[in-house]
Amino acid sequence: MSLASRISALASRVGLEVKTKIDATHPGLARAWVCFGYVGTQIVVRASHNVASVTRTAAGRYRVSFATAMPNAHYCWTALARSSTDSGTQRIAIVRSITDQKTAQFVDISCATTAATFSDSTEINLTVHI
């Protein structure tokens, strides 16, 4: 058996083993993600996984509803926001306020300026992990 054949056989075995260990429920995989923004006067969802909808609840404030609910509300989410202008005015995804909610069905996220004023962004990226 040649070296190339042995490497190929090993790669096949590793692939089969990994396939049995990692599936859609693996904790290392994102359970939901979305790339969206507020453009003009509407929400534009550019790409997503397990996201049913994104709703703007107020300037810089959004509710992301999941297509399939999370098992519980004890998940981790991270988000990043792009500046809406080329003037250096930064936008950040900030920690939820007391009125925002985090449930198995949805999460409320906020986008703000560095002065902590709620503000929309043309691109916000959210990832949810369990």
Domain positions in the chain are 24-129
- The string of pLDDT tens digits covering residues 95-124 is 666 778 899 999 999 998 888 788 899 999
pLDDT in tens, 48-99: 999 999 999 999 999 999 999 999 999 999 998 887 666 666 788 776 667 7
Cβ partners under 8 Å of residue 33, min gap 6: 48, 49, 50, 51, 125, 126, 127, 128
Q: Is the pTM of this model over 0.85?
A: no
Asked whether 64 and 100 are in contact (CB, 8 A), the reply is: no
User: Which residues partner with 79 through β-bridges?
Assistant: 126
